Structure 1
Amino acid sequence: MLDVEYWIEKIPDADSLIMAQNDIMKFNQKIVEKCDSVYDLRSYGVGFTHDELLSLIKEYKMSEKEMYFRNGEVVKSDFYNYIADNLNISGIKEVNSVQYGITIRKTSIRSFPTDIAVYSKRGDIEFDRFQETLCQALEPVLVLHESKDKNWHFIQMYNYRGWAKSTDIAIAKNKEEVFDYLDTDDFIVVTGNHVRTQFNPYYSDVSEIQFDMGTTIPLEKDMPDSVANQSIYGNYVIKLPSRDDKGNLVFKDGLISIKEDVRRGYAPYTRANVLNQAFKLIGDRYGWGDSFNGRDCSSFIMYVYKTFGFRLPRNADEQEKCPGIVRKFADGLSLDERIKIFDLIKPGALIYMSGHAMMFVGIDSGVPYIIHDFTGYGVKIGDKYDFIPVNEVMVTSSLLPTSMGIPFIGRFSSAIQFEM
């Protein structure tokens, strides 16, 4: 069951095109219209009033519960005071203009301008409560504010907002400079788990840069004879953003081997390709908010679908609001009735329950199976269920018990096929 062909062979129309690229672009626009958390950055506002910007920054609240550092020490008020001061609230002007930028490498988006991790349980190192998500490399972002220590930018990406390290963002002259670079028909898409640029002994800022599944990378139009004294043969010549000594956007050439798991243009959107992409991540480490160089349940879905050109919301509850062919699992349905709904659901469809996102892969022996990036399941010991950690991408039966003892399928709320 860990072999993708086992499931693809069960799909009659596995290689049929579900939607062409133009239709996917139209679908993305419907996502923007329907989902409040997804933005078209090209039409974003040019500035904010003092109160408007303050309300965005204040969306993140300090916990009133006792919290802990990685070493188990209790987080005290002086740390929270430092964070509050670094928000640089006094630096918010009456009118605050928006700057455009590009991420030069993948970067964490944090609740607050600090990379110090904070946990809700002593001894826990899995769930850093200040870690929101990851912004991939080569993403357009809007810089809305700067921290007091100038090490952090408060940014808006297409589906998330928060604090990112300023050294990971190159500031553009204007909107046009960003989208003239990104709006190209000549690009490669990372279809593997991770790929890296070739080592560059002359420019460390474009040397061995890691790009993750779903990242789109523009190709260089003005082809050089070599890059960093290396022949370009056997490589894609890519055009990469970098920062000058003032943090402004400049471009440099880099190389990615043609043998890496990348492709020119988006992958064709077929059910076989969706499963192929998902199964490439089997065994990959779970990471809350994309920590540990991994992904969590909803970003696993988001990045798989990004290889086809989809721009999905970040979190599971927001993804569940997306347009498409939707099947609901009403409360009160029996187990057999829930299984019967899968007669109407195609492999590659997304399955949601409160706090979790999964992908349907097919039916085996009358049981629906899913692939998901999940933390664990429940095993009955005596009269209660104990939590068994997994923390990876894996294929499981939908009948697998959750930590509460209820099968996963018993908590499903909806299934969505991204189709017009």
Structure 2
Amino acid sequence: MACHYGNQAASRVRAARGGQAGLRLRAMAMAMAMALLLTVAGATGAQDAERPLSGYGDVIGLTDSFLHPEFWSGEQDGGAGRPAIPPTEADRILLSRDDIDAQNARMRANDPSIHNLDALPASLTRAKVKADLDALSGWPEKPLYGEDGQPISADQRASIIANAGADAIAANRPLQYGLVVHRAALRTFPTLLRVLSRPGDTDIDRFQESALFPGDAVAVLHESADGQWLFVTSERYTAWIEKRFVGVGDKATVLGYGATEHYRVVTGATVFTTFTPEEPRVSRLQLDMGVRLPALVDWPLQQPVNGQQAHASYVVQLPVRNDDGSLALVPALIARSQDTSETYLELTPRDLYTQAFKFLGERYGWGHSYDTRDCSGFVSEVYRSFGILMPRNTSAQAVSPALDRIAFSAKDGKAKRMEAVKNLQPGDLVYIPGHVMLTLGHFGGNTWMIHDTAGGSWFAPDGTRVQAHLNGVSVTPLEPMMASDTVSYIDRITNIQRMRAKTP
């Protein structure tokens, strides 16, 4: 599944009572919490300086300054001092365009989670399609519940499995290609039925895998029994997608889409095409950060696009699905007031902060639910605005051989982990089981992260463990974060991935 956020599970762990090790660690955490509050309070100085937040629902040690990207790039003081980042460091290029191209090439060549659509055979065997289907669509062993709180019935299960049409897979199927025409969910099974692990746990739909965006290319492997779903492979994921969101076209058109000299990159968290009743298929279409669209730069400004003169907008080309399911490419407008760029952004700490904070406060969406994203989607879409390709899930991101990886095992002690945390740099990705955080920097004796998280846990100064339902893109310190009464996030670090040039 998408992000498997271990932090939510941690937020629900009930406090274990007793045990000398737990008491000692709790005392240490309490001391750390008090020291953090005193450090930040001392840094503010003046009587009217910002109040550090603490207590239930508040992030320990947080002040308003920390919620601004300018603070982390050294441009804003806010009464709490500036992070120790030299002005020249904020604009240092972490990866050049050539470095990024080389890294993406390594990703495509060496990372098993990345699929080369161009290399797929022209005809797919039953064995190949069945293997891919079985790898995705295994029914969970634990009981599942509907949104009404009732268990998923045996009849519902049988109907959903039958709709996957595994018995009807052709001995050989000609491979088809398509472009996604609207943001669309990727599902474990060909159904929109939301299924939950427990009654009331409505934020986590166990059949929600991910999402694809307009312009994403897919290879069509199979079709559901009811004809409403396609089983597809994209560059980063294989899953079910609603057929109405895919336009099927020839291979050259599909794989060549976006690979044009002139293009625009979505650099806002989300932007929308201009409303148009003349062409509803591209009206108010949501485009997420990092989406790349061909730009029709030679379009005559006097010639209307879908009923509107184009001088105040950018003319882009978008895929649409015709009534017969075939692909077409049509012009559409993105207003100049929308957050887009004529090229990928330069990967610097300043721009990285700016991009990450555009998602601040966005609701957490497991597997890209709610038209938002989860922890792994958050970091991959931030980096996508720089033209960087990343695997979809935390499990693959954390171990990708294409990145500069620092790995930890159960044998690695606290000292090694703390040393690595002390040396974290802006943009470094820190992984614990099922979760990823993006490093902002060091301040007030702590390392601060921005991450898309469902939960959060730390000790308050009175010794109680605060379990906050953050449920969105949040800024938190790393050191005080707890997975349980006795295990910290730092104890659970499995990998650190850094975006920097690798020597051959």
- State if a TM-score over 0.5 links the two structures: yes
- SS of match in other structure, 2:471: strand
The answer to whether 1:402 aligns with 2:478 is no
2:273 match? 197
CA distance in 2, matches of 1:397, 1:3: 15
The answer to whether 1:360 aligns with 2:439 is yes
Unaligned runs of 5+ in 2: 1-65, 75-83
The structure where strand makes up a greater share of residues is: 1
Q: TM-score, normalised by structure 1?
A: 0.95
Shift of 1:343: 4.3
2:38 match? none
2:364 match? 286
Q: Residues 231 and 293 of structure 1: is their aligned pair in 2 closer, same or farther, counting only changes over 3 Å? A: same
Shift of 1:20: 2.4
The answer to whether 1:8 aligns with 2:87 is no
Shift of 1:24: 1.2
User: Percent identity at matched positions?
Assistant: 31
Q: Select between 177-186 and 232-241 the one with higher mean Cα deviation.
A: 177-186
Where do residues 140-179 of structure 1 align in structure 2 (5 Å cutoff)?
140-172=217-249, 174-179=250-255
Shift of 1:333: 5.4
What is the count of residue pairs matched by the alignment?
419
CA distance in 1, matches of 2:120, 2:95: 28
Contact 1:378/1:386 (8 A) holds in 2:
yes
The answer to whether 1:73 aligns with 2:154 is no
Contact 1:109/1:133 (8 A) holds in 2:
yes
Q: What one-letter code is carried by the residue in structure 2 that aligns with 1:250?
A: A
- SS of match in other structure, 2:118: helix
Where do residues 49-88 of structure 1 align in structure 2 (5 Å cutoff)?
49-59=125-135, 60-88=137-165
Shift of 1:385: 5.0
CA distance in 2, matches of 1:68, 1:341: 42
- Over the aligned positions, Cα root-mean-square deviation in angstroms equals 1.9
1:319 match? 397
Q: Which of 90, 95, 98 is equivalent to 2:167?
A: 90
Unaligned runs of 5+ in 1: none
- SS of match in other structure, 2:356: helix
Contact 2:399/2:405 (8 A) holds in 1:
no
Contact 1:70/1:119 (8 A) holds in 2:
yes
Which of 1 and 2 has greater Rg?
Answer: 2
The answer to whether 1:351 aligns with 2:430 is yes
2:352 match? 274
1:414 match? 495
C-alpha offsets along residues 234-283 of structure 1, whole Å, 9 cap, x if unaligned?
Answer: 10001111111101011111100111111111111112211211111111
Contact 1:289/1:296 (8 A) holds in 2:
yes
C-alpha offsets along residues 154-209 of structure 1, whole Å, 9 cap, x if unaligned?
Answer: 0001110100000000000x211113332112111111111111111111101110
2:216 match? 139
C-alpha offsets along residues 68-109 of structure 1, whole Å, 9 cap, x if unaligned?
Answer: 000111101101111121111232111122111000011100
CA distance in 2, matches of 1:47, 1:380: 58
The structure where helix makes up a greater share of residues is: 2
C-alpha offsets along residues 317-369 of structure 1, whole Å, 9 cap, x if unaligned?
Answer: 10012233333345465656533324433211111111111111100122111
Shift of 1:47: 2.7
Q: What one-letter code is carried by the residue in structure 2 that aligns with 1:345?
A: L
Which structure ranks higher in relative contact order (CA pairs < 8 Å, sequence separation ≥ 6)?
Answer: 2
C-alpha offsets along residues 8-40 of structure 1, whole Å, 9 cap, x if unaligned?
Answer: 124332212222223312211211233211112
Q: Select between 34-43 and 103-112 the one with higher mean Cα deviation.
A: 34-43
Shift of 1:43: 2.1
